[in-house]
Structure 1
Amino acid sequence: MKRSDIAMIILLASLSMMAAFAIATNLSFLKVDEKGEPVDRVEKINSSIDDQPSATVFNKDAINPTVKTIIGGTGQQ
Structure 2
Amino acid sequence: MKKTDIAMIILVASLGVIVAYVVASNLSFLKLPDNGVKVQTIRKISSDVTQPSKDIFNDKAINPTVEVIVGGENG
- Same fold judged by TM-score > 0.5? yes
Q: Which runs of 4+ in 1 moved over 4 A?
A: none
**CA deviation after TM superposition for structure 1 residue 52, in Å:** 1.5
* Aligned match of 1:62: 61
Matched residue count: 73
Paired with 2:55 and 2:17, the residues of 1 have a C-alpha distance of 63
Identity %: 52
Partner deviation per Cα, 1:22-63 (whole Å, 9 max, x = no partner): 1221222222223221122211111232x2211122111212
Name which structure has the greater RCO, CA cutoff 8 Å, separation 6+. 1
Structure 1 unaligned spans of 5+: none
Q: RMSD of aligned C-alpha atoms?
A: 2.4
Structure 2 unaligned spans of 5+: none
